[in-house]
Amino acid sequence: MLKVQAAHSKSIFLFPDSKSKTQASATRCFYGNFRFAEKMAQTPPDWFRGAEIILGMVSVLISMVIILNPGYGNETVILLLSLGLFFNAVRMMSSGGLGQLSRSFRSMGLLGGGLIVAIVLLGFFSPGLGISTLVSLLASGLIIQGAARLANVAHAGHPRWLRVSALTVGSLTVVLASTTLLEPNLALFSLVALLTIVLLVNGFESIISGVRPSNRKQLTLLKLIVFAIFYGFVNINWIDLFATSAPGYHIWLILTYMAPFGVLLVFQGLRDWQLALSLGLLVSLLNDVGYYFTGDLLFGFHVPLVPWLAGQLGFLGNTVLFVFQGGLFTFPVTSTLMGLSIYSRIAVVMAVLFHWWRYPSELVA
């Protein structure tokens, strides 16, 4: 018995890390450039992820309120932007309670968030400051926030997709906020619009960070959703704003919704038709509730968004919004019909995407 133990001890002495190498090769599962086990160790607690989602939704909501109400006075808009910046500061400060982060990162979150709160309070309790000064203060706070996002790129515990997200959003925040700060001669409307876009982008980034996919397949699904949102909001709306005279236009528009996601069916087969359909429906929703947002933001349409959105969501009853051009057939689309269509598509998209998020086992990553 002693000889066996001695031989075993000798083998360990001669090959001290053979067992660790075997374990490492057995558990080597990568997430981006990191092992999956290491990534799981860096996943923040549920309370922080929930806070990121909620605070991100608040930022998006505030941005949408500003966009939907261009008639708001400067003071009201500045107040709303200050509230959005305050909630972003709360997100930064809450990172100080994360044990997964090093002391330097926690201190940076607390210090940066505290500085932003101080800026917001300075503007709130200094009614004698001019609008231009308040805009400069908000821009300064957003620069601090952008710099903090850029610092997250250096945190090795974050998965690669989150570091790329932090780099993109942080850079955009710093550039746009710096433009606002360094170009005071721009029209006040343009300055406020830039800050609103920054707040909106940071809100979406906070939501995505809170959702935080836990494996490659969820990350692939998230990429598909982000692509569908961009494709619908920019590409499809661009077409729908300027090219509506083709015969059977709405049939071609529906086919254009679905076209990119036919690739899923080509590579995965008809078993994934629900996912492809839900992504196409998501694109259609971005078109039906977003094309005048795109027109106002990117192409200078200046359409009153609240009355238009009321019609799209069914609040105008039997008012005819447009005539569906199906080539061989046409029919009037009322506000009620459009609203029912939008609500039913939202239900289908949410149900299917939630199922695929929970059970992405068949999705090729």
pTM: 0.68
Co-location of 188 and 253 in the same domain: no
Please state the separation of Cα 246 from the chain's center in Å: 34
pLDDT in tens, 8-21: 444 444 444 444 44
**Distance (Å, rounded) from C-alpha 305 to C-alpha 320?**
17
What tokens does 68 get? 């939907």
User: Which range among 63-67, 143-147, 186-190 shows the weakest confidence by mean pLDDT?
Assistant: 186-190
Co-location of 236 and 170 in the same domain: no
- 109-142 burial: b if 16+ Cβ within 10 Å, else e: bbebbebbbebbeebeeeeeeeeeebbbbbbbbb
Q: What is the mean pLDDT of residues 113-117?
A: 92
The reply to whether 191 falls in a domain is yes
Q: What is the mean pLDDT of the chain?
A: 82
Co-location of 74 and 139 in the same domain: yes
Q: What is the pLDDT of residue 14?
A: 43
Please check the confidence at residue 328 and state whether its pLDDT lies above 50: yes
pLDDT in tens, 247-274: 899 999 999 999 999 888 888 778 788 8
Q: What is the mean pLDDT of residues 179-203?
A: 80
Q: What is the mean pLDDT of residues 295-307?
A: 83
Q: What is the pLDDT of residue 42?
A: 59
CA neighbor of 342 nearest in space, from 275, 274, 291, 288 = 288
- Write down the H helix ranges in 97-159: 103-124, 131-151
Count of structural domains, the chain: 2
What tokens does 191 get? 């300055």
Q: What is the pLDDT of residue 228?
A: 95
The reply to whether 171 falls in a domain is yes
The reply to whether 242 falls in a domain is yes
Co-location of 70 and 151 in the same domain: yes
Please check the confidence at residue 3 and state whether its pLDDT lies above 60: no
Please report which helix (H) or strand (E) contains residue 325, including its range: strand 320-325
Give the three-state DSSP class for 1: coil
With bands split at pLDDT 50, 70 and 90, how would you rate the model's confidence at 154? confident
The reply to whether 337 falls in a domain is yes
Please check the confidence at residue 108 and state whether its pLDDT lies above 70: yes
With bands split at pLDDT 50, 70 and 90, how would you rate the model's confidence at 34? very low
Higher pLDDT, 268 or 211: 211
Q: Which domain holds residue 167?
A: 36-212
Co-location of 134 and 229 in the same domain: no
